[in-house]
Structure formats: structure tokens, C-alpha cells
Amino acid sequence: MVETLNELAQLRNTRFGRPWPRHGLKLLYWFANECISFENNNMLSECDPAEGDFGFHYFENRHNQYGNKLLPETNFHYYVIGNLNSPGAEELPNYVSEDDNTDEHDSNTDRIIVSLDEDWFDQVYVTQHNNRSNYDPHATYRISRGLLMIIRRMSLEDLLQEMGYYAHTQPVINYRAATVSSSDSSANESVIQLDDDTPAQNNSNNIPATWGLWETLCTIL
């Protein structure tokens, strides 16, 4: 089962999109504010994943060699976004893609996957590569409607500081996430095969690291 994240603290504990210059947190902020709106209890799509908006493309949630899938079975199509080399990704705002010219910390590794019911998002997930050919099932989480609404009420800088985004810039050795204990947490040790979604290869770039407002609350990578 894929764990569901309902609070900022749970998102912070996963280390999704961290540290700088990874773009997943910025991508999630953009998605929550620009690509989705809320109508009653539904999540309305303000972009068109099926048409390739912003670099969205079809995600085949296929079985791996052990018979496992990254995401639950559904009657809806899955679409993935986040590869800054995908056609259409240039439509993303500059704050999402501004650090795509560096390979440091696998800066192009983060993705959002959605299941789409015509004009409505059924589910929203975040995930990341564990190498250039596979997604990491242990770093894959469902983002709840409530958490998306919390993110919408924040500024981008407040979100990044709350997550401790700028605080640690040492090399990332192990992408396996530390998660809040949950009955939905996956015990699956297998690797999930990607489709055609490959991270960028870019030149290095450096900026000074700054301490986030909430860094004293964060776990060091």
C-alpha cells in the first residue's frame, strides 16, 4: 500500500524534493496552485495531462519482474510530470526549472503522478527515481486533498523553509525515505520499472546554502 501524506510534517519526513537543487517541492507547489482547483470534494484539473501540458505524459503502471506495480490498480489513466527534458516542460515556471543545469543531488529526479478521470484528478502521488531506469517504491506517496490545500495557503519560500530545503547540500547516498509509521506503509523491497522517463544530464552549478526557518525540526539526511 502507498502511504498517504496528510500534513506538512509527514511530507518533511519523507525528504521528498530535498535538498537543493532538487525541484520536487517547487513542482508540487506549482501543481497545488496552478494545475488543480477544488470544487466541493473534487479536484478539478486546470491543465490537460492527456494533451501533454507542461510535460505531462502517459505513465504505464506496468508490473515489474516480481509482479508488483508502483501504484494501485485503477480504472483511470496515469500521467507523470517532472522530467525537465520532456516536450512541454519548458511551459513550467522558471522557479521550477531554474536549477536544471546541474547534476548535483540528482536534481531532475522528482516526479508527480496523477490519475485522471476526464477533467478530474482522482489521486495525486509524488515519487522519485532510485536510479536512471526505475522509480523507488519506498519513496512513493499519495498526497491528500487536505495537504494540497495546506500548500496552496503558503508562499513558495515558506514551504521550502518549512521543508528545510536549503539546509543540507551534502551528496544524497540513499533515497529510501524515512516515513511516519502507518498501516499503509509498503513493505515491498522490489524495484519498479520506468517507462521512458529519464532524468536530465546537466552541468554543475552552485549557490550558497542558507538555513531554513524550521531546520531545527528537521532530520539530517
Question: Picking from 15-19, 76-80, 182-186, which range would have the lowest pLDDT averaged per residue?
Answer: 182-186
How confident is the model at residue 62, as a pLDDT? 84
How confident is the model at residue 123, as a pLDDT? 98
Question: Picking from 7-16, 19-28, 105-114, 138-147, which range would have the lowest pLDDT averaged per residue?
Answer: 105-114
Percent of the chain with pLDDT strictly greater than 70: 72
How confident is the model at residue 57, as a pLDDT? 96
CA atoms within 13 A on the CB side of 88: 14
**Segment 111-134, tens digit of pLDDT:** 999 999 999 999 999 999 887 778
**Segment 147-164, tens digit of pLDDT:** 999 999 999 999 999 999
Residue 220: is its pLDDT beyond 90?
no
- Secondary structure string (H, E, C) spanning the chain: CCEEECCHHHHHHHCCCCCCCCCHHHHHHHHHHHCEEEECCEEEECCCHHHCHHHCEEECCCCCCCCCCCCCCCCCEEEEECCCCCCCHHHCCHHHHCCCCCCCCCCCCEEEEEEEECCEEEEEEEEEEEECCEECHHHCEEECHHHHHHHHCCCHHHHHHHCCCCCCCCCCCCCCCCCCCCCCCCCCCCCEECCCCCCCCCCCCCCCCCCCCCHHHCCCC
Cβ-based neighbour number of residue 73 at 10 Å: 6
**Segment 61-94, tens digit of pLDDT:** 988 767 899 999 999 999 999 999 999 999 999 9
Residue 38: is its pLDDT beyond 70?
yes
Identify the band that residue 179 occupies on the pLDDT scale cut at 50, 70 and 90: very low
Question: Picking from 11-15, 51-55, 75-79, 187-191, which range would have the lowest pLDDT averaged per residue?
Answer: 187-191
How confident is the model at residue 138, as a pLDDT? 94
- Grid coordinates representing 14? 519523507
Question: Cell 501524506 maps to which residue?
Answer: 5
Q: How far apart are CA 21 and CA 217, in angstroms?
A: 21
